[in-house]
A and B are shown apart, each in its own frame.
Chain A
Amino acid sequence: MDQGFFLLFAAVSVITALTVVLARNPVHSALALMACFLQVSAIFVLLGAPLLAVIQIFVYVGAIMVLFLFVIMMIDVREAVLQRFLPGGNLPALVLLVLLGVEMLVLVLWSDRFSATEPAAIRGGDEIRELSTALFADYLLPFEVASVILLAALVGAIVLARKEPG
């Protein structure tokens, strides 16, 4: 049952990820990426992380992809649609990619550390309560730093995108 759902979500996410990279029109890429994020959040649910699944949908699908679509609307993408998909002379990058993929696959399939089939025993009790206790007690400083980073990014984005006076 679980395996069937995992295979379904994984297959759809890989197909939509390929669509992101292969589509000519950036709008199609953005919509495919949205579908891919939804599949990934379903996989988070399978992994027993419902909070992360909800955050994934809110932040990625709700905020980041809408931002992308807004920028695509502001920019004229017609010229970008016409350009050639793969400019020649990219053989080194292609070789690098194949090497990277083969290396990671071989390492994962050879190692016996990833063969666990059952999750470790779940500690009883409210999982989200424990998670938030860890986040707000042990990881309070990184949490505050993350909020400062978000504030800096907000101010920076406004300053960058503003029309220069005069």
Chain B
Amino acid sequence: MVPLSWYILLGVVLFVIGAAGVLLRRNILVVLMSLELLLNSVNINFIAFGRYYADFRGQIFAIFVIATTAAEVAVALGILVALVRNKATLKVDDVTVMKG
């Protein structure tokens, strides 16, 4: 069988790659996709721990994470469409209207 630490290490690697995408890329679309990658690595951890400690709550939490992710993506892409309609840019650095 596969040791538990392998799944955890896969989660760590995917998390670091996703964080690199969020922090280093300047394209809004790629930043959003990297966020999906982050949430997926967390899901792997949830399900791996749930499996190795014989607990259903890992899978239940993963289901809620997926539902929340779907809501987040819908709202984020709606905001993105409204943003591009008002200001034709896809760079994170150009969107400083709210002085963030």
Contacts of B56 in A (CB 8 A): 130-131, 134
Majority-rule SS of B interface residues: helix
Contact between chains at A47 and B36 (CB < 8 Å): no
Q: In the complex where A21-B20, A80-B90 touch, is A118 in contact with B59 (Cβ < 8 A)?
A: no
Q: Which of A83-135 contact B (CB under 8 A)?
A: 83, 85-87, 90, 93-94, 96-97, 100-101, 104-105, 108-109, 114-123, 130-131, 134-135
Cα A117 to Cα B77 with chains together (Å): 41
Contact between chains at B64 and A142 (CB < 8 Å): yes
Q: Which of B21-74 contact A (CB under 8 A)?
A: 21, 23-27, 29-30, 32-34, 36-37, 40, 43-44, 47-48, 50-54, 56-57, 59-60, 62-64, 66-74
Chain B interface category by residue count = 35 or more
* A146 partner, pick from B37, B64, B77, B80, beta carbons under 8 A: B64
Contact between chains at A48 and B12 (CB < 8 Å): no
Contact between chains at A6 and B52 (CB < 8 Å): no
Contact between chains at B81 and A40 (CB < 8 Å): no
Contact between chains at B3 and A149 (CB < 8 Å): no
* B9 partner, pick from A13, A108, A142, beta carbons under 8 A: A108
Cα A159 to Cα B81 with chains together (Å): 11
Contact between chains at B79 and A160 (CB < 8 Å): yes
Contact between chains at A153 and B70 (CB < 8 Å): yes
Give the A interface residue count (CB, 8 A). 86
Contact between chains at B78 and A160 (CB < 8 Å): yes
Contact between chains at B16 and A97 (CB < 8 Å): yes
Contacts of A85 in B (CB 8 A): 25
Q: In the complex where A115-B4, A116-B3, A119-B1 touch, is A67 in contact with B74 (Cβ < 8 A)?
A: yes
| Binary B-proximity of A64-83 (CB < 8 A = 1, otherwise 0) | 10011001101111011001
Instruction: Judge whether A35 is part of the interface by a CB distance below 8 angstroms.
Output: no
Contact between chains at B60 and A115 (CB < 8 Å): no
Contact between chains at A123 and B54 (CB < 8 Å): yes
Contacts of B98 in A (CB 8 A): none
Contact between chains at A117 and B18 (CB < 8 Å): no
Q: In the complex where A14-B17, A97-B19, A146-B67 touch, is A71 in contact with B80 (Cβ < 8 A)?
A: yes
* B91 partner, pick from A2, A72, A83, A96, beta carbons under 8 A: A83
